[in-house]
């Protein structure tokens, strides 16, 4: 590999290492496990473990860990050294097949939502053979699932793997029915665009809200925001460039194809996108990416803010989940081909997707939600909380043409193949997608881009939901084709099913401005749900149809769903609780003393003026006097309500009260502080402002 990429994959025990280091039969047996055609026996596992250990020791690793993704949404690890004493007390290194395959972390403190009593610490981790082992620092990390003693899943990876299989089966069934019998399995391809903010670390140290909550709880807008659009795709500042270089290098070593980097819309907001990969691996790699962004920022004296809305009034951050389905012989099932109107397989998959989204809009909404995303969805330049699908005019016309029974070719291709903007360029790649950045679910050429997902979230749940709802819709479609003898008749029937789906689900298609007020009204008229908050979105986990769907495919059990709802509820209440406490602490220890000192200074100045007090001082004293009251009284009101509601326990009803009663009171405090901040004297008010934080890199 050329010099800058020399170390690509050097920290991954990947395909090459496996092939080179394992005896041929062991390697083949491992490959069978990966493709689900066999299970690992003890000698094979031992041989792989041995090779892995040798490789890890050569790379300087001293420990190994089962790396898993508990329901906190982050990753967890417990390290064990390879070194042990032998029976003579002499040191030797040890890592067996059993160590590789199964672990028993004493992980009783992770949320289990009642799936596991705390006194029973047992939870087990099992190696996920489909995601590569890697080295982080001096630790060999083995991606694993995390389940309870009874086999209930305690993590986000286990249901993801199940959903991948469910979708593979359904897609394969459908493709086979449509005539391609040689397809044996399908997988998802996922590309996760990651948005984030970078700020100088010193500001985070000076702001407890950024430090503890990941977002500012108050702060008046800087005189300049993002209105000039001068940050988007602009020149990347040098300090950020150095940071990105470091990030890329770390990611490449881990075999992650970090590809695109650019400034985002808001000041000091950026994006990183890797090349898409297998869905399960992409989710793991995104977790690693977030970790590396955080760590690298620290090394550069920066802080990486992954929160969905660190600053009010400017864009928040998302994680765009680009998703498609690929057959084992490499065909993208969302690829329109040259003649999409005649491509029945394409039409069937697109229509199945449309139905999946319309029937499960609430579940999809939930899958992209977390407490932080409440501040982003529907706010500045973020997708609304209403789910709709954007297909682009070209594909939409084809579908409507099909629906109206007019010749299927009616779609007018909006390509630029004829247009040659620069003389001398003989080849201009064509692009048959137009763009609508305001849609939460957009078809972008040969994949769907789900833009609602919060930037700090694990991408597991959105993919679990996409995979499962699509599988169900495909299976319904396939049911209608089953038993038809001749392929020609299958194709006729498939078109009929597509027409019916378009008829029943066209309400979910929307190509206008998703950020507009009119759309909110129009969506309501169409009967599309608009769930405002995370805490309300998780009610879908109690919905009988949703429970049926998820349990039918064994992606979650009923108990696991109940547990998740309990955990999400707790997570929400805890998040708001931390925010309220932080806000009150800052009001009492920083803000009120600052305004008081400011007022005292001005009152003394006014007194020194004798009889003729300048208007400026008079005005200032009365505004500061009012500010003290506003801040103090709004904070006391918040505290009172918070104390009362905190006593209600961590129920869903209490969570909704937190959203509808506590959050607006926090907003009141914010408004009071912000109006002081506008006139604050910097000698007394030391809190870094938006202007300080967002215009320094
Ligand atoms: P944009 O910002 O224009 O939407 P980016 O290049 O930033 O595009 O990100 C697009 C993401 O989609 C990348 O991660 C890319 O690898 C991924 N992607 C491209 N094709 C597919 C596909 N067929 N399936 C899934 N992801 C894809
Ligand atoms: Mg992008």
Q: What is the pLDDT of residue 40?
A: 86
Enumerate residues with CB within 5 Å of ligand 2 (an ion): 193
220 and 322 fall within a common domain? yes
Instruction: Determine the distance separating the centroid of ligand 2 and the alpha carbon of 271, expressed in angstroms.
Output: 7
Which residues have CB under 8 Å from 26's CB, separation 6+?
43, 44, 47, 48
596 in the same domain as 523: no
Question: CA 588, 593, 595: angle at the middle one, nearest 5?
Answer: 115
Domain shared by 443 and 537, yes or no: yes
Structure-token pair, residue 415:
């390509």
**58 burial type by CB count under 10 A (0-12 exposed, 13-18 middle, 19+ buried):** exposed
Tokens for 426, please give them. 């003989």
179 and 84: one domain?
no
pLDDT at 228 over 90: no
The answer to whether position 562 is within a domain reads no
Of ligand 1's atoms, which has the minimum distance to the CA of residue 332?
23
140 contacts: CB under 8 Å, gap ≥ 6: 13, 52, 53, 56, 61, 63, 64, 65, 133, 134
Angle at 309 between CA 449 and CA 191, to 5 degrees: 25
Q: What are phi and psi of 89, to 5 degrees?
A: 80, 10
E strands, 426-575, are 441-443, 448-450
| Whole-Å CA distances, 589 to 30, 582, 668 | 60, 10, 18
CA distance linking residue 390 with residue 441, whole number of Å: 6
Q: In this structure, is residue 282 part of a structural domain?
A: yes
**Residue 448 belongs to a domain:** yes
What tokens does 425 get? 């360029």
- Is residue 473 domain-resident? yes
pLDDT in tens, 6-31: 999 999 998 889 999 999 999 999 99
From the CA of 444, give the closest atom in ligand 1: 4
Distance 192 CA to ligand 2 centre (A): 9
Q: How confident is the model at residue 114 (pLDDT cuts 50, 70, 90)?
A: confident
Phi-psi domain of 651 (left: phi exceeds 0; alpha: psi -120 through 50; beta: other): beta
Decide which of 529, 556, 583 is a domain's last residue.
556
Q: Which pLDDT belongs to residue 118? A: 54
Q: List pLDDT tens digits, range 604-628.
A: 999 999 999 999 999 999 999 999 9
The verdict on residue 563 lying in a domain is no
Pocket test for ligand 1, best of 187, 191, 437 (most atoms within 8 A of CB): 191
Please indicate, yes or no, if residue 82 is contained in any of the structural domains.
yes
Task: Using only the alpha carbons of the chain, give its radius of gyration.
Answer: 28
The answer to whether position 39 is within a domain reads: yes
- Kindly report the protein residue whose alpha carbon is nearest to atom 1 of ligand 1: 193
List own/partner pairs for 482-490 with CB under 8 A and 24 or more apart: 482/177, 487/178, 487/179, 490/177, 490/178, 490/179
Give percent helix, percent strand, percent coil of the chain, each to the nearest 5.
Answer: 50, 15, 35
Residue 504 CA to its chain's centroid (Å): 30
Domain holding 181, by residue range, is 163-556
Pocket test for ligand 1, best of 193, 265, 283 (most atoms within 8 A of CB): 193
| Number of neighbours of residue 437 by Cβ within 10 angstroms | 14
More confident residue, 417 or 558: 558
Are residues 395 and 480 located together in one domain of the fold?
A: yes
> For residue range 544-581, what is the model confidence (pLDDT) as tens digits?
999 999 999 999 999 999 999 999 999 999 999 999 99
Ranking 252-256, 315-319, 435-439 by mean pLDDT, the lowest is 435-439
Q: What is the CATH number of the domain that holds 599?
A: 1.20.120.1560
46: domain CATH number is: 3.10.20.70
- The domain tally of the chain equals 3
Query: Which ligand number lies closest to the CA of residue 444?
Result: 1
Comparing 287-301, 415-429, 509-523, 526-540, the range with the smallest average pLDDT is: 415-429
Does 284 fall in a domain?
A: yes
Q: Ligand 1 mean position to 12 CA, how many Å? A: 23
Average model confidence (pLDDT) for the chain? 92
Are 284 and 380 contained in the same domain?
Answer: yes
138 and 118: one domain?
yes
Three-state secondary structure readout of 357-393: HHHCHHHHHHHCCCCHHHHCCCCCCCCCCECCEECCH
Strands 448-450 and 441-443: antiparallel
- Check residue 168 and give its pLDDT: 98
- Boundary-marking domain end, from 521, 556, 591: 556
| Residue 425: pLDDT over 70 | no
CA of 448 to the centre of ligand 1 (A): 9
How confident is the model over 51-66, as pLDDT tens digits? 999 999 999 999 999 9
Which atom of ligand 1 is nearest the CA belonging to 323? 25
Long-range contacts for 358-362 (Cβ within 8 Å, ≥24 apart)? 358/504, 358/505, 358/507, 358/508, 359/469, 359/473, 359/505, 360/465, 360/469, 360/546, 360/549, 361/387, 361/508, 361/528, 361/529, 362/387, 362/529, 362/531, 362/537, 362/540, 362/543, 362/546
Taking residues 497-524, what's their average pLDDT? 93
Q: What is the pLDDT of residues 476-496, one digit of tens each?
A: 999 999 999 999 999 999 999
Same domain, 193 and 125: no
User: Does 377 share its domain with 461?
Assistant: yes
| Cβ neighbours, 10 Å, residue 224 | 13
140 or 421: whose pLDDT is higher? 140
Q: Are residues 474 and 593 in the same domain?
A: no
Tokens matching residue 140 = 């060999």
Pocket test for ligand 1, best of 322, 353, 444 (most atoms within 8 A of CB): 322
Given a cut of 50, whether residue 415 has pLDDT beyond it is no
- Calculate how far, in angstroms, residue 535's C-alpha sits from the geometric centre of ligand 1: 30
- 376 and 455 assigned to the same domain: yes
CA distance 256 to 259: 9
Closest-CA residue, ligand 1 atom 11, reads 191
Q: What is residue 477's predicted lDDT score, i.e. its pLDDT?
A: 98
Beta-carbon contacts of 631 under 8 Å, excluding residues fewer than 6 positions away, are: 587, 591, 592, 595, 669, 672, 673, 676
CA 633 to centroid of ligand 2, rounded, Å = 44
Ligand that comes closest to the CA of residue 431: 1
Clarify whether residues 205 and 335 are in a common domain.
Answer: yes
Task: Report the pocket of ligand 1 as residue ranges, CB < 6 Å.
Answer: 189-191, 193, 260, 273-276, 322-324, 332, 446-447, 449
Q: What is the number of the ligand 1 atom nearest to the C-alpha of 446?
A: 23
Name which of 342, 345, 360, 269 is nearest 307 in CA terms.
Answer: 269
Written as six digits, the tokens of 319 are 């994680």
Per-residue pLDDT reduced to its tens digit, 247-258: 999 999 999 999
Backbone angles phi, psi at 386, to 5 degrees: -90, 130
Residues 6+ apart with CB under 8 A from 301: 200, 201, 202
Percent of the chain with pLDDT over 70: 94
Q: Which of residues 135, 154, 173 is at a domain's end? A: 154
> How far apart are the C-alpha atoms of 168 and 458, rounded to whole Å?
22
């Amino acid at each position: 590999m050329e010099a800058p990429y020399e170390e690509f994959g050097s920290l991954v025990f990947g395909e090459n290492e496996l092939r080179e280091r394992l005896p041929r039969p062991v390697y083949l047996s491992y490959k069978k496990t990966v493709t689900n055609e066999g299970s690992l026996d003890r000698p094979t596992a031992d041989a792989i473990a041995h090779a892995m250990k040798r490789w890890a020791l050569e790379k300087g690793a001293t420990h190994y860990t089962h790396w898993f993704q508990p329901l906190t949404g982050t990753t967890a690890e417990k390290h064990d050294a390879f070194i042990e004493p032998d029976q003579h007390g002499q040191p030797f290194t040890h890592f067996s097949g059993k160590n590789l395959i199964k672990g028993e972390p004493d992980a009783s403190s992770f949320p289990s939502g009642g799936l596991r009593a705390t006194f029973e610490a047992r939870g087990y981790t099992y190696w996920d053979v489909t995601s590569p082992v890697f080295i982080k620092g001096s630790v060999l990390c083995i991606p694993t699932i995390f389940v309870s003693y009874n086999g209930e899943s305690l993590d986000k990876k286990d249901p993801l793997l199940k959903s991948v299989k469910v979708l593979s089966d359904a897609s394969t069934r459908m493709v086979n029915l449509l005539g391609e019998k040689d397809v044996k399995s399908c997988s998802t391809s996922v590309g996760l665009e990651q948005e984030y903010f970078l700020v100088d670390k010193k500001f985070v140290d000076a702001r407890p809200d950024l430090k503890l909550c990941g977002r500012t709880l108050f702060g008046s807008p800087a005189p300049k925001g993002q209105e000039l659009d001068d940050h988007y795709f602009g020149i990347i500042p040098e300090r950020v460039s150095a940071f990105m270089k470091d990030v890329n290098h770390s990611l490449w070593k881990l075999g992650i194809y970090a590809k695109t980097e650019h400034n985002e819309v808001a000041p000091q907001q950026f994006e990183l996108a890797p090349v898409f990969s297998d869905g399960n691996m992409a989710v793991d790699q995104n977790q690693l990416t977030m970790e590396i962004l955080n760590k690298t920022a620290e090394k550069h004296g920066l802080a990486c803010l992954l929160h969905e809305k660190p600053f009010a009034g400017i864009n928040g951050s998302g994680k765009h989940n680009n998703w498609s389905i690929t057959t084992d012989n490499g065909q993208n099932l969302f690829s329109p081909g040259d003649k999409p109107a005649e491509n029945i397989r394409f039409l069937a998959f697109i229509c199945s997707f449309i139905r999946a989204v319309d029937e499960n809009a609430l579940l999809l909404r939930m899958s992209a939600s977390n407490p932080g995303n409440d501040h982003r969805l529907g706010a500045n330049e973020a997708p609304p909380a209403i789910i709709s699908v954007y297909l682009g005019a070209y594909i939409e016309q084809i579908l409507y043409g099909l629906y109206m029974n007019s010749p299927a070719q009616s779609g007018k291709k909006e390509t630029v193949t004829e247009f040659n903007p620069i003389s001398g360029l003989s080849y201009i790649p064509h692009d048959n997608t137009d763009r609508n950045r305001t849609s939460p679910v957009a078809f972008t050429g040969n994949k769907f881009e789900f833009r609602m997902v919060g930037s700090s979230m694990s991408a597991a749940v959105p993919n679990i939901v996409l995979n499962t709802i699509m599988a169900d819709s495909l299976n319904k479609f396939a049911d209608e084709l089953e038993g038809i003898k001749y392929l020609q008749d299958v194709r006729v029937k498939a078109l009929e099913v597509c027409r019916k789906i378009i008829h029943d689900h066209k309400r979910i298609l929307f190509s206008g401005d998703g950020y507009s007020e009119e759309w909110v009204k129009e969506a309501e008229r169409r009967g599309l749900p608009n769930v405002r908050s995370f805490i309300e979105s998780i009610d879908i986990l109690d919905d009988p149809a949703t429970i049926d769907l998820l349990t039918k495919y064994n992606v979650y059990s009923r108990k696991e769903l109940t547990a998740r709802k309990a955990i999400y509820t707790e997570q929400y209440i805890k998040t708001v609780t931390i925010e309220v406490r932080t806000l009150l602490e800052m009001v009492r220890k920083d803000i009120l003393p600052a305004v008081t000192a400011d007022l005292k200074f001005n009152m003394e100045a006014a007194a020194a003026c004798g009889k003729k007090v300048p208007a400026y001082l008079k005005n200032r004293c009365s505004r500061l006097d009012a500010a003290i009251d506003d801040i103090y009284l709004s904070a006391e009101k918040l505290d009172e309500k918070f104390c009362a509601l905190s006593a209600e326990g961590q129920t869903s009803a209490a969570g909704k009260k937190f959203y509808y009663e506590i959050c607006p009171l926090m907003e009141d405090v914010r408004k009071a502080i912000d109006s002081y901040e506008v006139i604050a004297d910097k000698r007394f008010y030391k809190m870094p402002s938006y202007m300080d934080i967002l215009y320094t890199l």
